[in-house]
Structure 1
Amino acid sequence: MANEQILDVIGVGIGPFNLGLAALLEKTECRSLFFDKKPRFEWHPGMLLEGTTLQVPFMADVVTMADPTSPFSFLNYLHEQKRLYHFYFFEKFHIPRTEYNHYCQWVAEQLPKLHFECKVENIDQTEEGYYRVSVLAGAQKKKKTYYAKHVVIGVGTKPYVPGKFQSSLGNRIFHSSEYISKRENVLKTNSVTVIGSGQSAAEIFYDLLSKQPDHDYQLSWFTRSKGFYPMEYSKLGLEHFSPDYTRYFYKLPKEKKQSALNNQALLYKGISFNTIGDIYDLLYERTVGNNKPHVHLQALTELASIKEGNSRYSLSLCQHEQKEHTQIESDAVILATGYHPYIPDCLKGMENIVEQDETGQLVIQEDYKVKLKQEGQNHIFIQNGELHTHGVGAPDLGLGAFRSAAIINQLAAKEIYQTHEKNVFQQFGL
């Protein structure tokens, strides 16, 4: 195998994190290729609702927090789009979600090392210790093989639907990630039920509430959570999304990590204050003159089962505190049941090489490397698959550039990007 055929790194998946890695690699001599099975960059296309914003400031673009001088920054995107003064007068830190997606597409279009419509089928190791990456390319699914010293997995998380509901999925029962593509099916019905407690559930409920007068459906929202609570967004609370807290969390004993994550749910699973306010204000306006809109909101209530009738669905619900059960009928159900990390199928060829913990999750080292049973000079890195080892910051866009910088410094075997030890005012631990 000729040395010129061996890349320095191959990226699997092109979401915001591997997109940022690819952009930041432009300052290095590393030879790289990135693959994604999608035909183009799309960031949660099913939830690109008008009026929705990122839940992090615009500085959480794919490069700025590691390299504010990068030509791939959001501010340079605005400059190139002739929108810099528009943004200046916009005076907001939180940008429209649709614009963030367009910004990422703009970055992707400038990086020829990104290859879309290419599915990574398998990864294994050669006798020399390099990674052999098998790719099915294009609509013809032509098989190609590439070799690299290192691999970065950035496939992100996948929509989660509890197993007991999966047989019911279709055009009128679906995960929130498909909302925009299936919304028209829902608007034609007489009753719609939203299940979930997070931002996606709230945004879908508000969108349906806004459209309710034109379609006249019954609209219900149930969550098993204790209430329709806001996400923790105080300035000191936000310091948990920092390299400092990540270092602290990583060093906690394994048994402490899960309990810490459970206690921090509202750092990343709640609803924004603005969305809650928008919902309440619209409900208030709709009830002027003691008008009673066809709306039902209820917390502490879990969806236990879905049964299909002639044309409607029968939903069995359980209220936890009262230990009471009830049944309602609904024409459509939207499951905003979140996303789960997963080990992609392409790593099956590495099952005997990578270390997994007792729950079947990959063992991730502090420097974002997957722990291998026989460590060598070549590594597999993970982006946004280390919530269980690194804490709440793993999926946070604001930490993506920092993690990419940490990975690139290892790929290049020298400091390309500075990563600072102290970034917050508070101290975590003793």
Structure 2
Amino acid sequence: MTDPTVEHDVVAVGCGPFNLGLAALASTVDDLDLVVLEEQPELTWHRGMMFGDASMQVNFLADLVTLVAPSHPLSFLSYLHDMDRLYTFTVRENFFPSRREYEDYLRWAAARLPSVRFSHRVEAVHWDDAAERFTVRAVRGDGTRVRLAARNLVVGIGTAPYVPAALADLPEDKLLHTSRYLYRTSDVAAAGKVTVVGSGQSGAEVVVDLLGRNVEGGPAVSWLTRTSSFAPLDYTKLVLEMTTPAYMQYFHSLPEDVRDRLVGEQWQFYKGISTDTLEEIHELLYRRQLEHGLADVELRFGTTVESAAVDAAGRALLTCRHRDTGQAFEHTTDLVVAATGYRNRTPAFLAPVDDLLLRDGRGRPRVRLDHSVELAEGISGRVFVANAEVHAHGVSSPNLDIGAVRNATILNAVTGRETYRLPKKSAFTTFEAPRPVS
């Protein structure tokens, strides 16, 4: 059974923090009809890495709405007030919420947004030339099929865990991605040796957990990363100006090859490790010196894993290369934790309109400054993307603190007016070259 087609101004697919923020900002725009469709039955956020003491890496102002609408009823401060925690949060004097509290805030906001519809799996999107609308077909959790139409589509399905080819041949019982770490703690506890491949914040947090287990008599721990050091996030003030809307606009204006080079150079802005986590790791390593009989711990940077297999004894065997010397060596372990990040994914539901999306020289969607994808000539609708435009807008695109600005930009484009005022001055640094002397 399929319901009649229901018209909306905007259909957004996926309900992570970004599209949830879009729904939050849209909820106070009277003449805008927006709906968000989410396949899962409820909102969850990084449950596989929800360590009890894990903290956000952005402060509470980087919520769904505050950086463009500080008086919005769905701000983090409104959440704290509603939960009667505003005063204790103030006295706490730590304005970085825990990861668990941030997820609770997201769930609180979602519960107050009737435009967000869970258990709605989008199957296909088509372009209707006659109606000049995108038609979205979805199926609800009870099996009922629904059809929606809108001139504007926002795709915010998030990224998928990435396992590189060098590790892909390992069987499931020898390999897990950091996104599943807390779901596999029984496998971790049963292993004699656990090896983390890759660094970044997620890898470092797993190493903290493993070192804590090791100090208590748990498994041996190895940490291998190809980076040239266990590098910290660069959170110095003027460097952070390269994560502002001002820099994002400048980055978008650059040629494609320059943007690609900069993304490669700026990895430490988003793939580094917080200094607090690095200090915690060092403290655990120091504490180990006071104990005797613990299983070994090994840290190696500048190491590339080239392939992986299972040896005759049933253990994971990694073939590695020391990058400074080129020397190859083998590394044996019981369980590999892939701290290898996430990648954008192309959703199957966009297949019917794939030929309408214009692409750059490397096959990526050509994304305008307002976060809409360039479409084939004659298509009057718009497809916007959230957290799928690093190549066009820079490494700040996945940051939570850019979400409200991006969503305000999208809503301004959809409504054709300044529904939300965007920041005119977000950095002290001037990024553009001086005008040439005539």
TM over 0.5: yes
What residue number does 1:347 align with?
350
Q: Is the Cα contact below 8 Å between 1:191 and 1:330 reproduced in 2?
A: yes
Determine the C-alpha separation between the residues in 2 that align with 1:10 and 1:289: 58
Q: Which deviations, in whole Å up to 9, do the C-alpha atoms of 1:302-356 show, x marking residues without a partner? A: 1122111343111211111111111122111000101111221111111121111
Q: Which deviations, in whole Å up to 9, do the C-alpha atoms of 1:140-195 show, x marking residues without a partner? A: 43322111111101112111111342232414301111111112211111110001
Determine the C-alpha separation between the residues in 1 that align with 2:213 and 2:181: 14
Normalising by structure 1, what TM-score? 0.96
Matching of residue 307 in structure 1 with residue 309 in structure 2: yes
For structure 2, the residue ranges without an aligned partner over 5 or more in a row are 434-438
Determine the C-alpha separation between the residues in 1 that align with 2:127 and 2:293: 67
Which amino acid is the alignment partner of residue 104 of structure 1?
A: L
More displaced, 44-53 or 102-111? 44-53
Determine the C-alpha separation between the residues in 2 that align with 1:263 and 1:190: 37
Structure 1 pair 8–300 and aligned structure 2 pair: CA distance change class (3 A): same
Determine the C-alpha separation between the residues in 1 that align with 2:45 and 2:336: 23
Matches within 5 A, 1:14-53: 14-28=15-29, 29-53=31-55
Determine the C-alpha separation between the residues in 2 that align with 1:199 and 1:387: 19
Matches within 5 A, 1:314-353: 314-353=317-356
Identity of aligned residues (%): 34
Q: CA RMSD in A?
A: 1.6
Determine the C-alpha separation between the residues in 2 that align with 1:292 and 1:227: 25
Which amino acid is the alignment partner of residue 55 of structure 2?
A: T
Which amino acid is the alignment partner of residue 176 of structure 1?
A: T
What residue number does 1:77 align with?
79
**Which SS does the other structure have where 2:356 is aligned?**
coil
Matching of residue 393 in structure 1 with residue 396 in structure 2: yes
Matches within 5 A, 1:269-308: 269-288=271-290, 294-308=296-310
Matches within 5 A, 1:31-430: 31-127=33-129, 128-138=131-141, 140-288=142-290, 294-309=296-311, 310-430=313-433
Which amino acid is the alignment partner of residue 69 of structure 1?
A: S
Q: Is the Cα contact below 8 Å between 2:196 and 2:224 reproduced in 1?
A: yes
Determine the C-alpha separation between the residues in 2 that align with 1:389 and 1:169: 36
**Which SS does the other structure have where 1:239 is aligned?**
helix
Q: Deviation at 1:361?
A: 1.1
Q: Is the Cα contact below 8 Å between 2:251 and 2:259 reproduced in 1?
A: yes
What residue number does 2:12 align with?
11
Q: Is the Cα contact below 8 Å between 1:231 and 1:268 reproduced in 2?
A: yes
Q: Is the Cα contact below 8 Å between 1:122 and 1:345 reproduced in 2?
A: yes
Determine the C-alpha separation between the residues in 2 that align with 1:289 and 1:105: 43
Determine the C-alpha separation between the residues in 2 that align with 1:365 and 1:191: 48
Q: Is the Cα contact below 8 Å between 1:300 and 1:321 reproduced in 2?
A: yes
What residue number does 2:436 align with?
none
Normalising by structure 2, what TM-score? 0.94
More displaced, 49-58 or 282-291? 282-291
Aligned length: 427
Q: Which deviations, in whole Å up to 9, do the C-alpha atoms of 1:59-112 show, x marking residues without a partner? A: 100111110101110011011111111211111121101111111011011111
Q: Is the Cα contact below 8 Å between 1:172 and 1:186 reproduced in 2?
A: no
Q: Deviation at 1:113?
A: 1.3
Determine the C-alpha separation between the residues in 2 that align with 1:169 and 1:145: 40
For structure 1, the residue ranges without an aligned partner over 5 or more in a row are none
